[in-house]
């Protein structure tokens, strides 16, 4: 087969199709494991306090990100699953760049009684509303359906 | 500072546990798992298509470069030495010589294995010296495999072939009078 005799039969294999297996596995770690196991059976969050600088982490951590101090076992506490919107953005495209039928409000929420923030989705969409500073509460899956991941928080609702 | 107090003031070693496969399966630990869809379609081109069709029929095909006077396999439309077009397809033997090899104690998923996988390059008989492709070696142990060893292809049964390089399962040692 040279240039003169090119393949023209469309049934011959001209492409090799494959599926690359690239599974993504992310263990939550010791502190994260404790946090999610707590979330599975409770309607609140776990937070851990740094003795040295007073930062309160939620989701809880084993080490302080700021001063690298180890956070002891007794510095863990339960905090309510509520907070204040610090900032937000209204997404009109999905992860693939396609236009969303219903835009979503994605917000950074300062969790109550902590110095940490969490990303979440607010269920009420009002394009003209200013969400900053509003009080929100996490809406969790029913306890039977919880699987111990961030997805257990369905969304946050305005109080 | 002496060796002894070099790590004074450092936090203790971070507590940690190895994650076992059973921990994941029995959901003893919290984790996220995601399987992205990563599909690809490799356009084979004229030469590789014909080569794979050849494998399906149980033949190893090669191609001539008349200028460089060599027979190339896997075939290509251009000679990468002289950039001239290749011509004249030839059917090669399914025997060859081990050009180089590896004894791998890791499987394709990088898991440690007891029985090593033998892989390497086979120079196919009928092609120019040192012309061939990578493949598995079988029916030999890691102590028996040698560079320069004569090998023969072990084909899949004809109805299981799909036009893939794995239509040859592996290369086995070629014994006297086997040809």
The nearest alpha carbon in chain B to A32 belongs to B30
Spatial separation of the C-alpha atoms in residues B104 and B114, rounded to whole Å: 10
Per-residue pLDDT reduced to its tens digit, B138-178:
999 999 999 999 999 999 999 999 889 999 999 999 987 76
Residue A142 pairs with which residues in a beta bridge?
Answer: none
What is the interface pTM, i.e. ipTM, of the complex? Answer: 0.71
Is the per-residue pLDDT at A49 higher than 50? yes
Per-residue pLDDT reduced to its tens digit, A76-127:
999 999 999 999 999 999 888 899 998 999 999 999 999 999 999 999 888 8
Is the per-residue pLDDT at A2 higher than 60? no
Q: Hey, is B116 helix, strand or coil? A: strand
CB-closest option in B27, B30, B40 to A32: B30
pLDDT at B10 (0 to 100): 56
Contact flag B52-A13 (C-beta cutoff 8 Å): yes
pLDDT at B110 (0 to 100): 83
Per-chain mean pLDDT for chain B: 88
CB-closest option in B12, B16, B85 to A2: B85
pLDDT at A95 (0 to 100): 84
Per-residue pLDDT reduced to its tens digit, B63-116:
999 999 999 999 999 999 999 999 889 999 999 999 999 999 998 878 889 999
Instruction: Please indicate if any CB of chain A lies within 8 Å of the CB of B11.
Output: yes
Spatial separation of the C-alpha atoms in residues A51 and B14, rounded to whole Å: 18
Per-residue pLDDT reduced to its tens digit, A9-42:
666 657 888 888 888 888 888 899 999 999 999 9
Instruction: Please indicate if any CB of chain A lies within 8 Å of the CB of B175.
Output: no
CB-closest option in B31, B34, B46 to A28: B31
Provide the phi-psi class of B27: left if phi over 0, else alpha when psi is between -120 and 50, else beta.
Answer: left
pLDDT at A37 (0 to 100): 92
pLDDT at B1 (0 to 100): 45
Spatial separation of the C-alpha atoms in residues B132 and B96, rounded to whole Å: 8
pLDDT at A1 (0 to 100): 45
């Amino acid at each position: 087969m040279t240039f003169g005799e090119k393949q023209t039969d469309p049934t011959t294999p001209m492409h090799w199709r494959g599926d690359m297996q690239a599974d993504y596995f992310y263990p939550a770690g010791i502190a994260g494991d404790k946090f999610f196991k707590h979330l599975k059976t409770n309607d609140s969050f776990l937070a851990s306090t740094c003795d040295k600088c007073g930062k309160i982490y939620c989701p809880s951590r084993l080490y302080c990100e700021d001063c690298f101090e180890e956070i002891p076992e007794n510095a863990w506490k339960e905090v309510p699953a509520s907070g204040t919107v610090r900032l937000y953005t209204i997404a009109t495209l999905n992860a693939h760049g396609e236009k969303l039928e219903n835009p979503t409000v994605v917000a950074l929420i300062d969790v109550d009684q902590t110095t940490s923030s969490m990303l979440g989705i607010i269920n009420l969409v009002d394009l003209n509303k200013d969400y900053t500073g509003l009080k929100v509460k996490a809406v969790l899956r029913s306890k039977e359906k919880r699987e111990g991941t961030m997805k257990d928080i369905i969304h946050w609702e305005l109080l | 500072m002496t060796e002894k107090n070099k790590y004074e003031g450092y936090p203790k070693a971070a507590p940690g546990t190895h994650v076992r496969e059973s921990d994941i399966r029995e959901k003893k630990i919290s984790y996220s798992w995601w399987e992205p869809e990563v599909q690809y379609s490799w356009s084979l081109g004229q030469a590789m298509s014909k080569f794979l069709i050849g494998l399906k029929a149980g033949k190893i095909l090669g191609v001539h470069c008349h200028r460089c006077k060599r027979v190339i396999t896997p075939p290509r439309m251009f000679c990468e030495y002289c950039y001239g077009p290749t011509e004249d397809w030839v059917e090669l033997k399914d025997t060859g010589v081990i050009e180089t090899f590896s004894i791998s104690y890791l499987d394709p998923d990088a898991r440690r294995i007891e029985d090593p996988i033998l892989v390497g390059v086979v120079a196919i008989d009928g092609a120019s010296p040192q012309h061939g492709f990578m493949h598995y070696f079988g029916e030999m142990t890691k102590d028996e495999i040698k560079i320069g060893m004569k090998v023969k292809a072990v084909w899949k049964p004809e109805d299981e072939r799909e036009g893939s390089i794995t239509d040859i399962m592996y290369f086995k040692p070629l014994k006297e009078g086997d040809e």
